[in-house]
Amino acid sequence: DQFCRGSAISNKITVLVCTSAAQELLASKTSDKMMLAQRKFGAAQRSHSRAAAPMVARASRRSLRCEARKVALLGAGGGIGQPLALLLKMNKFVTELALYDIVGVAGVAADLSHCNTPVKVTAYTGPEELAGCLSGADLVVIPAGVPRKPGMTRDDLFNTNAGIVQGLVQAVGKNCPQAVLEIITNPVNSTVPIAAETLKAMGVYDPKKVIGVTTLDIVRANTFVAEARGLDMKDVDVPVIGGHAGATILPLLSQTTPPVTFTEAEKKAMTDKIQNAGTVVVEAKAGKGSATLSMAYAAARMAESTLLGLNGEPNIYECAFVQSEVVAGVPFFASKVLLGPHGVAKVVGLGELDAFESAALQAMLPQLKTEIQKGLDFAKNVAA
């Protein structure tokens, strides 16, 4: 397994499609079964009283319906888009990968087309070709936008990225309103509300189909906790709730699988490390980018989980930033969600928080509410 509990590829780099050629790839089934079992194993070991989301641990994958799935990637020529396109090209559940950007995407598509996987790759450049990219898409993933630079917060990106996201979401609403929409573009705490309000104004909003991708926070939390406690990374699951910026990122260390213990000082240090991990990468790249590779990895995991849900695989859980009633007065919130044939099948509660987590949750809410409202106001003002 290359992805811990959420792989987008098998380490044999095989891609399965529903044709007669599928029989030639039977050797990959063992790694596929392990991959899915690892994803679902997570919280199955957690006691019911503390679990943020029940999961079913199963040793094998049932016989899946393999359906043709078109995935549209908007912003495919960027720092996240290119590695994410590669990972999606290697995903067994994708049959067509439609790449869009304002420049340079034809070269990315040409490059990817030489990879010997059955996924068909097409390129679309500029607004006049966006409709063709989106037509018939089952899943739309948006990493488009400007990256964060040293000294910038995710909120500093708002003025540029808000307009980019709104324009792309309008195109989604016109051309593939039935598609699941996954938003990577920061600030996610604001861009997801923008997407929701934009689709509402168009009369095509379905809260089950608009998802903010916070998976990188979970990937980082799993990595850091595994390293700190000497655990196998593929076995570790740390739920991360709240939002996707700074203090709004709240890892629930008390709900980690397998159970781990931290002192109060260790909890604070680990929480700070997870919250500030993106800034560490931005500073390390010294103005030449942000967290692109790890973000692509995390987005590929989320995309695969979504495709599994669309294909009818039960008990697929991920944390995501979605429309939610989990916390009163907070219309969007990141928590465990169950993914199904129509997108988000269920938003799961938080489970039992310890005192540290409860205090951190209350402390973050003013920031999260402000960032959500900023997105809602932007979309409403533009619509007006």
Distance separating alpha carbons of residues 384 and 260, to the nearest angstrom? 51
244 catalytic residue (yes or no): yes
Taking alpha carbons only, the member of 85, 141, 142 closest to residue 117 is 85
Q: Return the structure tokens found at 82.
A: 């290119």
Sign of CA dihedral 151, 154, 159, 165: positive
Q: What are the DSSP calls for 323-342, one per residue?
A: E--SSTT-SEEEEEEEEETT
The answer to whether 217 and 324 are in contact (CB under 8 A) is no
- What's the distance, CA 377 to chain centroid? 24
* Annotated catalytic residue within 48, 114, 244, 342: 244
Residue 185: which residues within 8 A CB-CB, separation 6 or more?
75, 142, 143, 144, 145, 161, 164, 165, 191
Q: Judge whether 32 and 10 are in contact, CB under 8 Å.
A: yes
Contacts of 213 (CB under 8 A, 6+ apart): 141, 182, 183, 184, 188, 298, 299, 302, 320, 321
Q: Which whole-number Å values give the CA distances from 81 to 11, 170, 363, in the listed order?
A: 21, 20, 34
DSSP string, 80-105: THHHHHHHHHT-TT-SEEEEEESSSH
Assigned token pair, 213:
């991708």
| HSE of 275, CA atoms in CB hemisphere, 13 A | 19
The residues annotated as belonging to the active site are: 244
